[in-house]
Amino acid sequence: MRKISVIGVGYVGLVTAACFSDLGNTVIALDIDESRISGLKRGEMPIYEPGLEELVQRNMQAGRLSFTTSYKESLKDCEFIFICVGTPSGVDGEADLKYVESAARSIAESMHAPIIVINKSTVPVGTGDWVADLIRDAQPKPIDFQVVSCPEFLREGVAIADFMSPHRTVLGSTSLEAADKVAQLHLPLRSPIVITDLRTAEMIKYASNAFLATKISFINEIADICESLGADVKEVAAGMGFDPRIGKQFLDAGLGYGGSCFPKDVKALVYMAEEMGHEARILNSVMQVNGERRNILIERLRQLLGDLKGRRVGLLGLAFKANTDDMRDAPSIDIAEELLAAGAKVHAFDPVAMENAKKLLPKVEMAKDAYELAKGTDALLVVTEWNEFKNLDLERIRDSMQQPIILDGRNIYQPEQMNSLGFTYFGVGRGYNGQRKTKTEIKVRPNAA
């Protein structure tokens, strides 16, 4: 049993703390937000993540997990301390490291024995060296420590499963001994462990997220081509995904990526490249394609309804993805603001994200469920792929709408079924949209010979 401290109780920090305690370690999680820590001590979760509340409460009751706002308390007899604070985008796309800096200085001022500092936050290449210098310079008296990079690869909505059954654990350090100790900490997870240097470990995280973002933008571009040519991107993606060189994941066409990771990480990697004099041409295109995705439903709506002023539009879903209440860079924000600017009356329903959404979209009226949302609407826009939306009573939805129009930004419905039910239905990249063409015109270029 080891004593571990975790700084930050957001999505990464709280999951990290809860999971390490569930593995039998003694974990104390720290945050400078007193209200968050007070709430956690009462068993109140600051975020929504399936299974997290039960995991936290079980380990608190077992005495393995506790919470504090005090660095001195957190560092007492501590062997490992994880930095899990936010690194939001700066003005030019660079990662803002003010929270990492604050954590490093506080560690330096409060440590009283040798310790291993582990960067789990997504940080620019070179941050590990910078953190080491910060701690060394801020120490009241010299105490030995080592810095290890251990980037997180947790997906919101399945973060506990990702932590407990990771595809790999990446560790980087200038000290092989420190990296080995952190590797021993992760051995119960039985995942492949990659040990490398600090900067390479930091780069692995950025390269991984940038590649996944590229897959999303790629399939969205294919969706646009499918739409023009009469092909179905869902079937195209399924056919592609059977190839093990491509894989099935992240080939869902729709409204593009959002959340706390992909947008800021791609921007940060582009910024780092440009700082070194490199033009990140592919990644710039990835961001451009993604930025254009959020207008597709509104443009389609204008084609169907014309002027949107006074139109009642319902948004099915608000969170950037299902199984989370995270509204960071959620497509729903841009869509709602564009609709409001056009004079539409915007209503919305999300199973868990409405409280967070109210702070960002005060002019959007929230409904108690999908059926209340549908009443009197001129159109429904599927924005988040919640499972409960897939099994709605669609006939009831249709009968309560002013006009049975559904624009499906996540392709959760089958076009032919929706058309047979009497909906005017459009998905993303569903070239036929349920209406099979009887004739396909193929233009043949004359033989040059």
For the chain, what is the mean pLDDT?
94
Q: At 91, is the pLDDT very low, low, confident or very high (cuts 50, 70, 90)?
A: confident
Question: How would you label 304-322 residue by residue, b for 16+ Cβ within 10 Å and e otherwise?
Answer: ebeebeebbbbbbbbbbbb
What's phi and psi for 32, nearest 5 deg? -80, -10
Pick the CATH number of 3-196 from 1.20.120.1200, 3.20.20.80, 3.40.309.10, 3.40.50.720: 3.40.50.720
224 pLDDT band, cuts 50/70/90, is: very high
pLDDT surpassing 80 at residue 446: no
Q: Is residue 321 scored above 50 in pLDDT?
A: yes
Helix (H) or strand (E) segment spanning residue 303? helix 296-305
**Separation of alpha carbons 117 and 181, rounded Å:** 12
Q: Please tell me the predicted confidence (pLDDT) of residue 260.
A: 87
Model confidence pLDDT, tens digit, residues 229-255: 999 999 999 999 999 999 999 999 999
SS3 label, residue 334: helix
CATH class for domain 205-292?
mainly alpha
What are the residues facing 347 on neighbouring strands?
314, 365
Q: What is the pTM of this model?
A: 0.91
Ramachandran angles phi, psi of 384, nearest 5°:
-130, 140
What CA–CA distance (Å, rounded) separates 304 from 298?
10
User: At residue 438, what is the residue type?
Assistant: T
**Nearest of 242, 47, 425, 109 to residue 17 by alpha carbon:** 47
Residue 448 reports pLDDT greater than 50:
no
| Catalytic residue status for 261 | yes
Token pair for 366: 């929230």
CATH topology of domain 295-426: Rossmann fold (3.40.50)
The token pair that represents 243 in the structure block = 């190839």
Residue of 19, 84, 150, 261 marked active site? 261
Pairing of strands 345-349, 365-366: parallel
pLDDT for position 193: 97
Domain with CATH 1.10.1040.10 in the chain: 205-292
Contact 207, 268 (CB under 8 A): no
Domain with CATH 3.40.50.720 in the chain: 3-196, 295-426
Among 166-175, 182-191, 263-272, 424-433, where is mean pLDDT lowest? 424-433
Tokens of 386: 């919640």
